């Protein structure tokens, strides 16, 4: 099959057509947007819409699972990735109440009242499953076919992946522990919470967020040259054990398929250091491509963080997609990551629109300097203090007030990216993270309308 070649102008024209489809929805009730939502009863006919729900978002941001229902977001998703599960120094999946390492309280211990529950019923003191896990179970009951995956690792919790993947025995032990904890749902007892089978049926698969096999990640994350082959073997072990468990738990002639996915990098050097692409793609249902953090406040010059296209030698969504395609990944298994946050700098000098100019440091952010949720950036754009700039040819936008610059994705940028996903025959879109959207789900609505149905 001949791969379609897409020019920047072609994508811009497609996205401008999609803008017209978004306009009538302005101010409309999200519950009425039923024409392009994925069919949870036939997910193969739909583009994937994968949203990460962060464990810690229930605290400072006060973003609860129920918000996915009230915003209309849940009806527009095919998958929720719960971030994150951790791997211990012994090379096994674990949970508990260990500051900085695990948060069973948020996961399944914390009781929610009726007002905070998806089903409007308060948790009781003796139910074995509460917290985020129980709310996700309630959300799935309202949306049959919506899949929830446990995402393992992430930037901070990839520390022990390399050690755990080193030998056949260590890989078997890691995979077995993850399946026991999350797929079988055998949670550690915490008072009346947890116990054998407490979370059975909640998780529909596993998402691997090892950042990064074979190359540097967070400061304490171990990596080795042999990670590349060990990652392939680990993926095979996950696929083998998930399939074996599905067969053993088969009921009434129907065998459940547990999905296996991963978050994978944009940098060609990181792809080549850690991923045997043709081999791993046989075992993955799909992979979520890093489509953001191309540049950020760790640099001293402002730049785009998530552009669709860029100059040769720079990172972009198109570069990432093509690098994975060239290495043997099937297009329909590539899901494009889209940010629900922005990267920012302050002390920007040099005039103009601020892009490509020197800066003194990260812009102040509500939760971390240099980063801000889209919901807050939308308010800045509406304040009149910042000017909104966009480049239709390269597919990105930024805010600038003469001193502070934020590069981010707004609904028009996401429509452009949705057009690109459709035109390239890709698998869909992924969002990091759902708590960055507006209360009425402005960003997810834009992507939902842009992708429509295959």
**Over the stretch 120-131, which tens digit does the pLDDT of each residue have?**
999 999 999 999
pLDDT of residue 389: 98
Band the pLDDT of 17: cuts 50, 70, 90: low
| Total H helices, total E strands in the chain | 13, 19
CA distance 22 to 16: 10
pLDDT over 90 at 320, yes or no: yes
Mean pLDDT (the chain) is 92
Question: Do the beta carbons of residue 148 and residue 80 sit within 8 Å?
Answer: yes
CA 15 to chain CA mean position, Å: 23
pLDDT of residue 8: 56
pLDDT in tens, 51-106: 999 999 999 999 999 999 999 999 999 999 999 999 999 999 999 999 999 999 99
* CA atoms within 13 Å, Cβ hemisphere of 101: 13
pLDDT in tens, 179-218: 999 999 999 999 999 999 999 999 999 999 999 999 999 9
pLDDT-above-90 percentage for the chain: 88
Question: Do the beta carbons of residue 83 and residue 209 sit within 8 Å?
Answer: yes
pLDDT in tens, 378-435: 999 999 999 999 999 999 999 999 999 999 999 999 999 999 999 999 999 999 999 9
The superfamily CATH assigns to domain 34-340+411-451 is Glycosidases (3.20.20.80)
Band the pLDDT of 35: cuts 50, 70, 90: very low
Question: Coil, strand, or helix at residue 45?
Answer: helix
Question: Do the beta carbons of residue 337 and residue 432 sit within 8 Å?
Answer: yes
Domain parsing of the chain, residue ranges: 34-340+411-451
pLDDT of residue 338: 98
pTM, 2 dp: 0.92
pLDDT of residue 23: 40
Band the pLDDT of 37: cuts 50, 70, 90: very low
Mean pLDDT, range 100-121, rounded to an integer: 98
Q: Hey, what are 299's tokens? A: 């640099």
pLDDT of residue 373: 98
pLDDT over 60 at 26, yes or no: no
CA distance 234 to 262: 12
- Could you please report the per-residue DSSP string of 119-164? TS-PPPTT-S--HHHHHHHHHHHHSTT-EEEEEEETTTS-TTHHHH
Q: Which of 69, 138, 211, 375 is the catalytic position?
A: 211
Question: Do the beta carbons of residue 381 and residue 399 sit within 8 Å?
Answer: yes
Between 22-31, 223-232, 365-374, the lowest mean confidence (pLDDT) is in: 22-31
pLDDT of residue 214: 98
pLDDT of residue 31: 31
Q: Which of 204, 175, 183 is nearest to 80 (CA)?
A: 204
pLDDT of residue 10: 56
pLDDT of residue 251: 73
CA distance 258 to 85: 17
CA distance 411 to 92: 40
pLDDT of residue 21: 43
pLDDT of residue 11: 53
Better-scored residue on pLDDT, 7 or 250? 250
pLDDT over 60 at 437, yes or no: yes
Which residue shows structure tokens 């920012």?
344
pLDDT of residue 419: 97
| Strand ranges (E), 265-404 | 286-289, 334-339, 341-346, 361-362, 371-373, 387-391, 396-400
Mean pLDDT, range 1-30, rounded to an integer: 44
pLDDT of residue 6: 55
pLDDT of residue 7: 55
The question of whether 211 is a catalytic residue gets the answer yes
pLDDT-above-70 percentage for the chain: 90
């Amino acid at each position: 099959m001949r791969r379609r070649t897409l020019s920047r102008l072609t994508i811009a024209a497609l996205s401008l057509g999609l803008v017209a489809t978004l306009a009538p929805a302005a101010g409309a009730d999200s519950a009425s947007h039923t024409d392009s939502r994925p069919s949870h009863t036939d997910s193969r006919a739909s583009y994937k819409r994968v949203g990460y729900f962060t464990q810690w978002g229930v605290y400072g941001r006060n973003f609860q699972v129920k918000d996915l229902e009230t915003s209309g977001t849940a009806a527009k998703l095919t998958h929720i990735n719960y971030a994150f599960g951790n791997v211990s120094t012994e090379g096994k999946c674990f949970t508990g109440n260990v500051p900085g390492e695990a948060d069973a309280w948020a996961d399944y211990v914390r009781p929610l009242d009726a007002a905070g529950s998806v089903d409007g019923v308060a948790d009781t003191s003796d139910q074995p499953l509460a917290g985020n896990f129980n709310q996700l179970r309630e959300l799935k009951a309202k949306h049959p076919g919506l899949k929830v995956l446990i995402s393992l690792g992430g930037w901070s919790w990839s520390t022990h992946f390399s050690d755990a993947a080193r030998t056949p025995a260590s890989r078997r032990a890691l995979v077995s522990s993850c399946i026991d904890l999350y797929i079988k749902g055998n949670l550690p007892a915490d008072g009346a919470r947890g116990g054998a089978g407490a979370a059975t049926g909640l998780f529909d698969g596993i998402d691997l967020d090892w950042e990064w096999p074979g190359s540097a990640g967070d400061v304490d994350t171990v990596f080795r040259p042999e990670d590349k082959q060990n990652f392939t073997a680990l993926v095979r072990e996950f696929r083998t054990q998930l399939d074996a468990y599905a067969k053993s738990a088969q009921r009434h002639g129907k065998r459940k398929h547990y999905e296996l996915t991963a978050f994978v990098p944009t940098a060609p050097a990181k792809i080549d250091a850690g991923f045997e692409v043709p081999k791993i793609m046989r075992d993955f249902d799909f992979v979520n491509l890093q489509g953001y953090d191309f540049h950020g406040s760790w640099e001293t010059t402002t730049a785009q963080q998530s552009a669709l296209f860029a100059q040769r030698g720079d990172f972009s969504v198109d570069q990432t997609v093509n690098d994975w395609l060239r290495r043997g990944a099937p297009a329909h298994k590539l899901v494009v990551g889209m940010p629900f946050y922005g990267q920012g700098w302050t002390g920007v000098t040099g005039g103009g629109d601020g892009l490509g100019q020197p800066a003194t440091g990260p812009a102040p952010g509500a939760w971390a300097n240099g980063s801000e949720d889209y919901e807050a950036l939308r308010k800045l754009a509406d304040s009149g203090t910042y000017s909104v700039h966009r480049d239709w040819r390269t597919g990105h936008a930024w805010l600038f007030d003469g001193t502070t610059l934020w590069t981010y994705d707004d609904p028009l940028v996401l429509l452009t990216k949705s057009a690109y996903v459709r035109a390239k025959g890709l698998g869909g879109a992924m969002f990091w993270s759902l708590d960055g959207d507006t209360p009425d789900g402005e960003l997810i609505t834009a992507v939902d309308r842009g992708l429509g149905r295959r």
